[in-house]
Amino acid sequence: MSLKNLIPSIVLISGLLLLTGLSSCNQSGSNNKGPDGDTLKGKITLSGAFALYPLAVKWAEEFQKLHPNVTVNVSAGGAGKGMTDALSKMVDLGMYSKSVSPEEQAKGAWWIAVAKDAVLPTVNAHNPVLADLKKKGLTRQKFYDIFISGSIKTWGQAIGNNSKVEMQAFTRSDACGAADMWAKYLNGKKQEDLLGLGVNGDPGVADAVRRTPEGVGYNNLGFIYEMSTRKIYAGLDVIPIDLNENGMIDPDENFYGNMDMVMKAINDGKYPSPPARDLYFVSGGKPSNNLVKLFLNWILADGQKYVNEAGYVTIKPAQIVTELQKLD
Residue 148 shares a structural domain with residue 260 = yes
Residue 110 shares a structural domain with residue 233 = no
Kindly list the distances between the CA atom of residue 58 and the CA atoms of 20, 139, 227, 299, in Å, as whole numbers in the listed order: 25, 35, 12, 11
Inter-residue contact 116 to 277 (CB < 8 Å): yes
- Angle at the Cα of 121 (from 120 to 126), degrees rounded to 5? 125
pLDDT string in tens for the chain (328-residue length): 443 444 444 444 444 444 344 433 433 333 334 445 678 999 999 999 999 999 999 999 999 999 999 999 999 999 999 999 999 999 999 999 999 999 999 999 999 999 999 999 999 999 999 999 999 999 999 999 999 999 999 999 999 999 999 999 999 999 999 999 999 999 999 999 999 999 999 999 999 999 999 999 999 999 999 999 999 999 999 999 999 999 999 999 999 999 999 999 999 999 999 999 999 999 999 999 999 999 999 999 999 999 999 999 999 999 999 999 999 8
Residue 37 shares a structural domain with residue 125 = no
List pLDDT tens digits, range 186-197. Answer: 999 999 999 999
Distance CA 41, CA 32 (A): 7
Instruction: Check residue 38 and give its pLDDT.
Output: 74
Residue 127 shares a structural domain with residue 251 = yes
Residue 310 shares a structural domain with residue 210 = no
Residue 239 shares a structural domain with residue 122 = yes
Domain region containing 11: 3-117+276-325
Residue 302 shares a structural domain with residue 232 = no
What letter does residue 172 receive in the DSSP assignment? E
- Angle at the Cα of 14 (from 16 to 7), degrees rounded to 5? 125
Element (H, E) at 111: strand 109-124
**Domain's final residue, options 250, 267, 284:** 267
Distance CA 278, CA 265 (A): 15
Instruction: Check residue 73 and give its pLDDT.
Output: 98
Residue 160 shares a structural domain with residue 113 = no
List pLDDT tens digits, range 317-327. Answer: 999 999 999 99
Domain with residue 199: its CATH number is 3.40.190.10
Distance CA 171, CA 254 (A): 25
**Domain's final residue, options 267, 288, 308:** 267
**Domain's final residue, options 267, 295, 313:** 267
Residue 104 shares a structural domain with residue 186 = no
Burial environment of residue 272 by CB neighbours within 10 A (0 to 12, 13 to 18, 19 or more)? middle
Residue 245 shares a structural domain with residue 130 = yes
Count of beta carbons in the 10 Å neighbourhood of residue 88: 11
List pLDDT tens digits, range 130-156. Answer: 999 999 999 999 999 999 999 999 999
* pTM of the entire predicted model: 0.85
Residue 254 shares a structural domain with residue 280 = no
Residue 175 shares a structural domain with residue 249 = yes
Count of domains for the chain: 2
